[in-house]
Structure 1
């Protein structure tokens, strides 16, 4: 973010956020469990993209231990992705603004107060968002929080009835996807007032679009009052 003379360059902030939004999909991170039996790859938003389970998980069946290992490995992968996204953002924000452009002042104090009240109310609602999903056979149960982070993973001991870990990995990925999708549905309803009218959830990035839209509105008001 560029600040000149104590004034935030809102034009650049808005453009930088758009750039980060576009480039965020290139961020992926992988983590492996200490025993090498679990490998998880996530995207910048923490979504589980790939889960690899070594066939050796069937040698000592322990569904609780396996669920804990998957959860811990996924958490470390998400942490790596978060750091990579932060590095990407720092790189974008460090790019100098176009020469000759005058920074747009921040919104009026009255606008800031109203926004602060709205955000605090929104944060309370978002913090309460939780979603769960279960696999069709009932052997996998997953719960995620408002960020899509896995908060609970339960595996029924019957997951060890097979001998191929790939179907199990795919079922876990799908169950987590369903839980995250339900979280996104709840967040979208909460964030609608901060989004363009008529926008569809499937085309919305809830991590960036509410702020980008708010900056668009601020800049639009600046043009009208400038």
Structure 2
């Protein structure tokens, strides 16, 4: 195999790695925008969470204070946080699965995880 052919293969490989890196970065940007909202069956409580399950908003129907006791309200909030967190986790997995089908999602989405730390830096041959 000629030296020029080796360089062309190496250039092609670097190009493919750079394209995959860019796709993963775009996926990361999309993942940061994910959110999910869960609403209780009675419509009294809605909770919105972000991609890591962080609570972004809690909304109450104005009638809630006449219908639910404090303990019922608390239980409803916790339940909606759980539902929304599960929903956003499924959306995150769906977003990432095409690019990284066997990735251990639960291990990656811990606190302070950055996709960029797993990616090779773009380079040239």
User: For 1:113-128, what aligned pairs fall within 5 Å after superposition?
Assistant: 113-128=18-33
Q: Which structure is richer in relative contact order (CA contacts within 8 A, separation 6 or more)?
A: 2
Q: Does 1:157 align with 2:47?
A: no
User: Can you give the 5+ residue segments of structure 2 that lack an aligned partner in the other structure?
Assistant: 1-12, 120-125
| CA deviation map 1:56-104 (0-9, x unaligned) | xxxxxxxxxxxxxxxxxxxxxxxxxxxxxxxxxxxxxxxxxxxxxxxxx
> Cα RMSD between the aligned structures?
3.2
Partner residue in 2 for 1:3: none
User: Can you give the 5+ residue segments of structure 1 that lack an aligned partner in the other structure?
Assistant: 1-108, 216-226
Partner residue in 2 for 1:179: 84
Partner residue in 2 for 1:50: none
Q: Tell me the distance in 1 between the aligned counterparts of 2:94 and 2:108.
A: 11
Aligned residues: 102
| CA deviation map 1:29-57 (0-9, x unaligned) | xxxxxxxxxxxxxxxxxxxxxxxxxxxxx
Q: Tell me the distance in 2 between the aligned counterparts of 1:146 and 1:134.
A: 17
Partner residue in 2 for 1:70: none
Aligned residue among 100, 107, 123 for 1:194: 100
TM-score by length of structure 1 reads 0.38
Following TM superposition, where does structure 1 have runs of at least 4 consecutive aligned residues deviating by more than 4 angstroms?
208-211
Aligned residue among 97, 109, 118 for 1:207: 109
TM superposition shift of 1:156: 1.6
TM superposition shift of 1:170: 0.7
TM superposition shift of 1:177: 1.1
Partner residue in 2 for 1:138: 43
SS at match of 2:63: helix
